[in-house]
């Protein structure tokens, strides 16, 4: 549940600063990246930082269990198949560990580094609000998503901010 994860993140933030969130603003996005043969360095989402306190991200490829259900439901209605979404042979997923590389990269030590997604894990990214509240001690990481990928990808993203009435003063 996202509420358990967000409470854990807010608790860890509140150990260094008081950040009320009982009326927090949250935005959810579902992002679809269709297969793309764009240049290797073409952007799906250009480099940026997130503006809120933190972001929860769950990037994934569709797996057979999702497509089996889809085929069962839709073939009964209109006789269609999965539309080429099967992930067999996806070189971006390690078959032994299930760790996937979905195109997410972070700028680290003067270069772009691919961010692995561990199965079942939620990626937590701090935002500009935390950077401001910490007086710059916590930096919002610059990140991007590359477009080039032979397989369809999805990301569930939620952006979390404190209550609207929180004043974002810098720490001394």
Cβ distance 155 to 136 under 8 Å?
A: no
Dump pLDDT digits (tens) for 58-91: 998 876 666 666 666 655 444 444 444 556 678 8
User: Lowest mean pLDDT: which of 49-58, 65-74, 130-139, 159-168?
Assistant: 65-74
Length of the chain: 172
Q: What share of the chain is helix, strand, coil (3-state, %, to 5)?
A: 20, 35, 45
Look at residue 28 in the predicted model and tell me its pLDDT: 92
Q: What is the pTM of this model?
A: 0.80
**How sure is the predictor about 34, in pLDDT bands with cuts at 50, 70 and 90?**
confident
**How sure is the predictor about 152, in pLDDT bands with cuts at 50, 70 and 90?**
confident
Q: Mean pLDDT throughout 2-9?
A: 75
Instruction: Please say if the pLDDT value at position 51 is more than 90.
Output: yes
**Alpha-carbon span 144 to 141, nearest angstrom:** 10
Percent of the chain scoring above 70 in pLDDT: 79
Q: Mean pLDDT throughout 123-135?
A: 90
Instruction: Please say if the pLDDT value at position 122 is more than 60.
Output: yes
């Amino acid at each position: 549940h996202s509420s358990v994860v967000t409470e854990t993140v807010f608790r860890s933030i509140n150990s260094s600063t008081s950040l009320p969130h009982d009326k927090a603003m949250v935005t959810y996005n579902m992002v679809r990246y269709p297969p793309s043969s764009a240049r290797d360095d073409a952007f799906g989402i250009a480099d940026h930082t997130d503006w809120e306190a933190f972001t929860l991200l769950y990037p994934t490829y569709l797996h057979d269990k999702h497509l089996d259900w889809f085929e069962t439901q839709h073939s009964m209605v209109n006789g269609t198949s999965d539309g080429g979404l099967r992930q067999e042979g996806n070189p971006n997923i390690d078959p032994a560990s299930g760790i996937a590389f979905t195109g997410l990269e972070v700028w680290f030590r003067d270069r772009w580094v691919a961010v692995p997604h561990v199965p079942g894990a939620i990626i937590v990214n701090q935002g500009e609000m935390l950077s401001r509240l910490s007086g710059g001690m916590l930096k919002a990481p610059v990140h991007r998503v590359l477009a080039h990928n032979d397989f369809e990808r999805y990301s569930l993203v939620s952006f979390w901010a404190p209550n609207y009435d929180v004043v974002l003063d810098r720490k001394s």
